[in-house]
Structures are given as C-alpha cells and as structure tokens.
Amino acid sequence: MSELKKIREQQNLTQEELAEKSGISVRTIQRIEAGTNPKGYTLKTLATTLGITEKDLLTPILPVEEIDNSFDEQVQEVKNKDDINYSLVKIINLSSIPFAWFPIVNFLLPLLIMLFTKQKSQIVKQIISLQIFLAIISPIIFMIVALLKLGSTSVMLTMIALTLINVFIILRNAYEIDKKQCLCYKLNFNII
C-alpha cells in the first residue's frame, strides 16, 4: 500500500476529497497510490494539504532482504490457499445448520470437524468465528426483546428471525465457497 493511501485513509479522506482540498487531479492521486512517487509541486502540495512532511509521502525503498521475505510470504500464502479443501470447508460451514435454532451450540460441530480434520485455514476460522459471534449476539437480542415485554408473539418472531438469519448466512457463505472460494459474510477479526 502506498504511503499516500495510508495517510489519506488515516485522515478519513476519499480520493475525491483529497483532490478537492489539494487541487491535484483524482487521476494523479490514483497514480501515486498505485505506486508512482510524487515529485515537485505535487509532492509539496500533497504534503501541505495533509499536514505532513514530504518525506512521509515517499514510498520507502525496501532492502533486498525485506523484498525476498515479502515474496516468500506471498508464495507461502498462495501455497496455503492451494492446500485448502473447499469441499471440506463447505461441509464445516453447513454443519452449523442443525443447531442454527440453538445459537449457543451452533459453532461446536464446525469446531469439532475443524479439529479432527486439521483444516485450520483462515476461511474455516472465519466461519467458526462468525458462528461464535452469532452465538453471543443472538441471546442478547433475544433477551432485549424479552425484557421489553412486547408479548410472547414478538419473542417467538424474534427467535424465528434470528434462526432464519443464521441459516441464510450459512447458506449464502456455502454458495460463495462453492463459486468463488471465499465468504460473503465474515468478520474483520477472528475469535479463534
């Protein structure tokens, strides 16, 4: 990621907003974020607009060792992706369905399958993390509705809605695993 993009995102600016503030075209900002180092007027203007030094905007040149390590990490990541058995990942994902109605245990079966098959890829961890998250959130939502004393009908509808949402998430993720080998619904963090 380019230094400009990092700084721009830290300051919560879009490319268009930065272009408007600095007077630099959006296309130039896109080129810089794609890897071109800014020079002269552009460098000075962007640094001034962002309130940083010109040196902060220049992409550091990595020593050869770091480039090699970075390449090795990318190769390892590709190898790990090739090692993933997506049929098994889909089974792990779908194994949450029998307990979708009981969110406190809906992550146990996928967790057990993961442990027995030693399929500990990032995508499997995301599937289980999402089910754990739903196991935490669903009872909280259920209790809030129950404490609001809206009647037994609303409590029952909430229970049904939470179950259907969970089933939808599981099925949608299964579809994405099948078609694109990724998840449609995932968290920005892992619980396990």
C-alpha to C-alpha distances, 164 to 116, 146, 187, nearest whole angstrom: 28, 19, 19
| CB 124, CB 92: distance < 8 Å | yes
| CB 27, CB 18: distance < 8 Å | no
- Predicted confidence at residue 155, as pLDDT, reads 87
What is the average pLDDT across 108-127?
Answer: 88
Under 8 Å CB-to-CB from 16, ≥6 apart: which residues? Answer: 26
Residue 68 C-alpha from the chain's centroid: 27
**C-alpha to C-alpha distance for 33 and 85, rounded to whole angstroms:** 35
Architecture category of domain 3-57 in CATH = Orthogonal Bundle (1.10)
Residue 158 C-alpha from the chain's centroid: 27
Quickly tell me which residue has 């000075």 as its tokens.
44
pLDDT tens-digit readout, 38-95: 888 888 898 898 888 888 877 665 555 555 555 555 555 554 555 788 888 889 889 9
Under 8 Å CB-to-CB from 147, ≥6 apart: which residues? Answer: none
Under 8 Å CB-to-CB from 97, ≥6 apart: which residues? Answer: 167, 170, 171
Average pLDDT, the chain: 83
Residue closest to 45 by CA, chosen among 22, 66, 29, 68 = 22
pLDDT tens-digit readout, 119-136: 888 888 999 899 999 889
Scored b (16 or more CB within 10 A) or e, 121-134 reads: bebbbbbbbbbbeb
Indicate where the chain has its CATH 1.10.260.40 domain(s): 3-57
**C-alpha to C-alpha distance for 79 and 64, rounded to whole angstroms:** 23
- Predicted confidence at residue 76, as pLDDT, reads 54
Label residue 170 by pLDDT band (50, 70, 90): very high
